[in-house]
Amino acid sequence: MKIICKKNELIKGVNIALKAVSNKTTMPILECFLIRCENDTITFMANDMELGIETIVEGTIEEEGTIAVEARIFSEIVRRLPDNDITIQSENNQVIITCEKAKFNIGSRNIDEFPQLPSVDKKEKVSISQFSLKEIIKQTIFSVSDSDTNAMMTGELFEIRDNDFKVVSLDGHRISIRRIELKENYEHKKVIVPGKTLNDLTRIVGGDAEKNVDIYFSSNHLLFEFDQTKVVSRLIEGEYFKIEQMVSRDYQTKITVNKQVMLDCIDRATLLVKEGDKKPIVMYIDDEKMEMKMNTTVGAMDEIIEIEKEGKDIAIAFNPKFIIEALRVIDDETVDIYMMNPKAPCIIKNEEEEYIYLILPVNFSAVQ
Amino acid sequence: MKIICKKNELIKGVNIALKAVSNKTTMPILECFLIRCENDTITFMANDMELGIETIVEGTIEEEGTIAVEARIFSEIVRRLPDNDITIQSENNQVIITCEKAKFNIGSRNIDEFPQLPSVDKKEKVSISQFSLKEIIKQTIFSVSDSDTNAMMTGELFEIRDNDFKVVSLDGHRISIRRIELKENYEHKKVIVPGKTLNDLTRIVGGDAEKNVDIYFSSNHLLFEFDQTKVVSRLIEGEYFKIEQMVSRDYQTKITVNKQVMLDCIDRATLLVKEGDKKPIVMYIDDEKMEMKMNTTVGAMDEIIEIEKEGKDIAIAFNPKFIIEALRVIDDETVDIYMMNPKAPCIIKNEEEEYIYLILPVNFSAVQ
């Protein structure tokens, strides 16, 4: 095999494929790129068995062939070579990388060990803009559980019904729901995608509102196709939680508040919380104002912010992190928060229910 | 005590004084700022017993007084308050910080426990531009030893003779020497300043070429005065190493090389060195070219760079890190490197000897 690529083209491909390179594994082949050069196409592949990536790199093939090479050292070498043409060739189980007068020689691996990417039948494709996909993942991914005790909580629900695309995540303390309208109608689809995969995906997808990601569904895998890249993720098996039963639209108190003012206030209050400590932020809501209080061994904090209120007065307490994470991903200038009583979840949502964030309160009488 | 300061003025002062706040100590008072407000001057002080800082903060004193307050939590609170006037007042052993509608309440400490900053007799001041002081420290500090086995190696020699200011550091494998010309002549001075202090100093001094730092010398301390700030450092006791005896001007080979080309080449080669591994870079120097080689378990690297040579051919090996660190702080486009034989130190210096970097080679026959 012998190819010549521009440094910046190589770097683009390497940065994408690296996301599917295993970090800790007992199988060295999972730490490799497979570089396949045939039919005028140079393809970089990586596969950590959860996530598989295939991306095309621009360049000239002087001799066809396929090699497997340790991904991290390969990437580092490419990054530090001069900004010029880079030649990659294989010779006696070695990979030789040359650029100007610099020449590197690193070992290669047996390409037969490299696990094939799962094949996904391209029956029906769902198209969504790169921007929208990236946004909807960012706006929900934070409430995925990172504990393995319930596998389903480590993933996000992707559900498509007609032209409605809904993404849901929950971790036992809160639920995040986002929905957007697709340009076309589709058959009903419902899968659970690992959170880790989606995190990696947001770092690869460009975020262009004019460009699309095509998503293909199979029973065990999801295939994302965009630009010159394919990303295959395994799916999490099982029946997802019945969300609609958990979200009640009843309320006794509704407040409307400036999002940034509330966010800054809670953010300041968390300064007083030492790591690992579970101090709630307490909110005393009455007519036209909300008093926020935090009380810890470090000190006390107290701030009054203006609100509009409908319904009863209420005192209610929350884990400040949960409120912060929800408010951060809402773009609206003001938000509506609905509460029932100090023991029932609050709900932050807009009228069209494009977003619904449900957060359980903390037992308040017990903490004061 | 009651004062009102603009947020940005407070932050400026806090960021300076924080450098002398102790990180780990059994004495909680060393984790505090002393805020002294008297005679129309608000002074923030911190002292970790190695380094003491005093800086003046602009603001209005409504009631004179002095408080001691935990520095890190105070800084974090100030940073996250709205960008407006901040009021700080003491009340019943508490410090109350208010800004707009936010109010924080944190504990204060007994001001009598706070260790006074050492007083330095202001007999004679040495003036140097902020820019030059910052540069000369950066250009030498990397070869200070971080091991405590020899206290003198953890500091830098500051020597002034007439109008010549010389800074030296060494760690047993290399020596860095820089000198600059001062505007005036001074009495002979020779002290050893802790490397840690100098590192902190470079982060506080502004770097303006038009502004000066005034340095005052006492037998145990050094006082740096600039802008609204005083920094006092203790000195390391002892007689510094006799540097001149270690630096020989004899050579058998002299090469002239493009600094950036050589730096980039060695930088790339270190990719192949795993952490903790001690692989040298080997240089084969003959007429008009230098071949650089690195050979490790990860792979091999080989690069030829153009040089001008005077004297004998030579093959010599170095710890790549030492060469990199010296080349990085040299501003010249080309550098001259002088070598005697594969077992004697090489010297990188310019003709005027404004800089001299001496680096011991690695035993070369043993490594191949």
Q: Is A119 a domain residue?
A: no
User: Greater confidence, B287 or A330?
Assistant: A330
Last residue of some domain: B220, B244, B268? B244
Distance from CA of B293 to the nearest CA of A (A): 10
Tens digits of residue pLDDT in A288-326: 899 999 999 999 999 999 999 999 999 999 999 999 999
Cross-strand partners of B231: B53, B224
Q: Is the pLDDT of residue B45 over 90?
A: yes
A80 chain-B contacts, CB cut-off 8 A: 264, 267-268, 271
Residue A102 and residue A47 share a domain = yes
Residues 106-135 of B with CB under 8 A from A: 106-107
Residue A74 and residue A36 share a domain = yes
Per-residue model confidence (pLDDT) at position A144: 97
A104 and chain B: CB distance < 8 Å anywhere? yes
Q: What percent of chain A has pLDDT over 70?
A: 99
Q: Is A120 a domain residue?
A: no
B288 and chain A: CB distance < 8 Å anywhere? no
Q: Is B136 a domain residue?
A: yes
Number of domains in chain A: 3
Residue B263 and residue B216 share a domain = no
Identify the CA nearest to B55 among candidates B87, B5, B16: B16
> Residue B74's closest chain A neighbor by CA?
A271
Q: Is B224 a domain residue?
A: yes
Where residue B367 falls among pLDDT bands split at 50, 70, 90?
very low
B301 chain-A contacts, CB cut-off 8 A: 102-105
Would the CB atoms of A102 and B299 count as touching at under 8 Å?
A: no
Where residue B25 falls among pLDDT bands split at 50, 70, 90?
confident
Complex ipTM, two decimals?
Answer: 0.85
Q: Is the pLDDT of residue B207 over 90?
A: no
Would the CB atoms of A80 and B299 count as touching at under 8 Å?
A: no
A102 and chain B: CB distance < 8 Å anywhere? yes
Tens digits of residue pLDDT in A195-252: 999 999 999 998 899 999 999 999 899 999 999 999 999 999 999 999 999 999 999 9
Half-sphere exposure of A356 (CA within 13 A, CB side): 19
Where residue A278 falls among pLDDT bands split at 50, 70, 90?
confident
Would the CB atoms of B102 and A272 count as touching at under 8 Å?
A: no
A103 chain-B contacts, CB cut-off 8 A: 301-303
Per-residue model confidence (pLDDT) at position B147: 83
Distance from CA of B196 to the nearest CA of A (A): 28
Residue B257 and residue B272 share a domain = yes
Would the CB atoms of B300 and A267 count as touching at under 8 Å?
A: no
Residue type, B198: L
What string of DSSP letters covers B46-109? EE-SSEEEEEEE--EEEE-EEEEEEHHHHHHHHHHS-SSEEEEEEETTEEEEEETTEEEEEEEE
Q: Is A260 a domain residue?
A: yes
Where residue B141 falls among pLDDT bands split at 50, 70, 90?
very high
Would the CB atoms of A73 and B105 count as touching at under 8 Å?
A: no
The secondary element (H helix, E strand) that includes residue A19 is none
Q: Is B119 a domain residue?
A: no
Q: Give residue A133's domain range.
A: 125-244
Where residue B368 falls among pLDDT bands split at 50, 70, 90?
very low
Per-residue model confidence (pLDDT) at position A336: 98
Residue A255 and residue A221 share a domain = no
Residue A337 and residue A268 share a domain = yes
B101 and chain A: CB distance < 8 Å anywhere? yes
The residue of B74, B80, B86, B98 whose CB has the most chain A CBs within 10 angstroms, and thus the best one to mutate to test that interface, is B80
B302 and chain A: CB distance < 8 Å anywhere? yes
Would the CB atoms of B101 and A272 count as touching at under 8 Å?
A: no
Distance from CA of B288 to the nearest CA of A (A): 15
User: Backbone dihedral region of A75: left (phi > 0), alpha (psi from -120 to 50 degrees) or beta?
Assistant: alpha
Q: Is the pLDDT of residue B364 over 80?
A: no
A367 and chain B: CB distance < 8 Å anywhere? no
Mean pLDDT of chain B: 95
> Residue A306's closest chain B neighbor by CA?
B101
B303 chain-A contacts, CB cut-off 8 A: 101-103
Identify the CA nearest to A235 among candidates A54, A51, A53, A17: A51
Q: Is the pLDDT of residue B338 over 50?
A: yes
pTM (predicted TM-score): 0.89
Residue A254 and residue A361 share a domain = yes
**CB A25, CB A48: distance < 8 Å:** yes
B289 chain-A contacts, CB cut-off 8 A: none
Q: Is the pLDDT of residue B276 over 90?
A: no
Per-residue model confidence (pLDDT) at position A365: 62
Residue A140 and residue A44 share a domain = no
Residue B265 and residue B219 share a domain = no
CATH number at residue B261: 3.10.150.10
Q: What is the mean pLDDT of residues A108-120?
A: 94
Tens digits of residue pLDDT in A46-97: 999 999 999 999 999 999 999 999 999 999 999 999 999 999 999 989 999 9
Per-residue model confidence (pLDDT) at position B124: 83
B211 and chain A: CB distance < 8 Å anywhere? no
> Residue B107's closest chain A neighbor by CA?
A299
Residue B207 and residue B266 share a domain = no
Distance from CA of B365 to the nearest CA of A (A): 23
Q: Is the pLDDT of residue B304 over 70?
A: yes
Q: Is A221 a domain residue?
A: yes
Would the CB atoms of A105 and B298 count as touching at under 8 Å?
A: no
Q: What is the mean pLDDT of residues B82-92?
A: 96
Q: Is B118 a domain residue?
A: no
Last residue of some domain: B214, B244, B274? B244
CA distances from A29 to A13, A72, A95, B270 (A): 19, 12, 15, 24
**What is the separation of C-alpha A311 from the centre of its chain, rounded to a whole number of angstroms?**
37
Per-residue model confidence (pLDDT) at position A311: 96
Residue B193 and residue B152 share a domain = yes
Burial B18-50, CB ≥16 within 10 A → b, else e:
bbbbbeeeeeebbbbbbbbbeeeebbbbbbbee
Q: Which of B107, B301, B305 sits opposite A103 (nearest CB)?
A: B301
Q: Which of A101, A105, A300 sits opposite B299 (nearest CB)?
A: A105
Q: Which of B80, B271, B303 sits opposite A103 (nearest CB)?
A: B303
Would the CB atoms of A80 and B302 count as touching at under 8 Å?
A: no
> How big is the A-B interface in CB pairs under 8 Å?
75
Q: What percent of chain B has pLDDT over 90?
A: 90
Tens digits of residue pLDDT in A136-153: 999 999 999 988 789 999
Would the CB atoms of A271 and B106 count as touching at under 8 Å?
A: no
Cross-strand partners of B347: B338, B358
Would the CB atoms of B77 and A268 count as touching at under 8 Å?
A: yes
What string of DSSP letters covers A251-285? -SEEEEEEHHHHHHHHHHHGGGSPTT--PPEEEEE
Last residue of some domain: A54, A86, A113? A113
Residue B222 and residue B191 share a domain = yes
